[in-house]
Amino acid sequence: MIRTRFLAFAYPGAAPLRFEDVDVPQGGTLLLQGRSGTGKSTWLSLVAALRVPSQGDLVVAGQDLRALPALRRDQWRGRHVGFLPQKLHLSEALTVAGNLDLVFFAAGLPRQPQRTAQALEALGIAALARRRPSQLSGGEAQRAALARAVLLSPRVILADEPTASLDDEAAAAAIALLREAAERCGATLVIATHDRRVRDALPQAQQLRLDEARAVA
């Protein structure tokens, strides 16, 4: 679940960004809409505990993020938030399985090879575990990044422009993968997008449209 009240964030020397309230139940879906530069990335970073709100209340998966000590934010994020960035950030120095194993380190947990294998199997890429990211197709790389995002069965999955630069068939596949992964984990799904195809594919999702006039990326 994600609940915000009077949420605001101010960059140094800039007027605060003020976001409308949302209340997304656990397992629900939210579309964060707006063109590039309207504050979508800022909102995602607040929900992921990468930034601390300047004002307002922010509760994610039952945790009041403003009350979370700085030393616990990284571990909390690693255990409860799965993030699929627009740029996938798969390390070429590691195999696909090795990229997933980094999640355990971030969450302060011991490596669990069986769980890694299960995540790759669930996304249909178990045979690619020993490949390097450069040996993957674009769709395979996105599946690997999604497997990494859902490895620890997060309570929240955040996806930043997951259909950018994809054709219609690939975009539909990406949306279906996100929806299936969220259902499997029972996670709240947030997709930041300006792509009409995402809205059309998820007509029941809640929507939060950001006002470009008050936004800063």
Q: CATH number for the domain including 7?
A: 3.40.50.300
Answer yes or no: is 116 within a domain. Answer: no
Strand, helix or coil at 210? Answer: coil
Answer yes or no: is 175 within a domain. Answer: yes
Answer yes or no: is 142 within a domain. Answer: no
Ranges of H-type helices in the chain: 40-47, 70-80, 96-106, 113-122, 138-149, 168-185, 196-201
Q: Cα dist. 61→31, 156, 197 in Å?
A: 17, 7, 28
Residue 210 near residue 38 (C-beta atoms within 8 A): yes
Residue 118, Cα to own-chain centre: how many angstroms?
20
pLDDT, one tens digit for every residue, the chain (217 residues): 999 999 999 999 988 899 999 999 999 999 999 877 778 989 999 999 999 999 999 999 999 999 999 889 999 999 999 999 888 999 999 999 999 999 999 888 999 999 999 999 999 999 999 999 999 998 899 999 999 999 999 999 999 999 987 889 989 999 999 999 999 999 999 999 989 999 999 999 999 998 753 544 4
Tokens of 51: 């930034």
Overall pTM surpassing 0.75 (yes/no):
yes
Burial 48-70 (b: 16+ CB within 10 A, else e): bbebebeebebbbbeeebeebee
Q: Which uninterrupted H or E stretch holds 190?
A: strand 188-193
Answer yes or no: is 133 within a domain. Answer: no
Answer yes or no: is 120 within a domain. Answer: no
Distance separating alpha carbons of residues 46 and 66, to the nearest angstrom? 10
Q: What's the number of domains the chain is made of?
A: 1
Answer yes or no: is 106 within a domain. Answer: no
Interaxial angle between packed helices 168-185 and 138-149, expressed in degrees from 0 to 180 and rounded to the nearest 10: 20
Domain that holds residue 207: 2-90+155-214
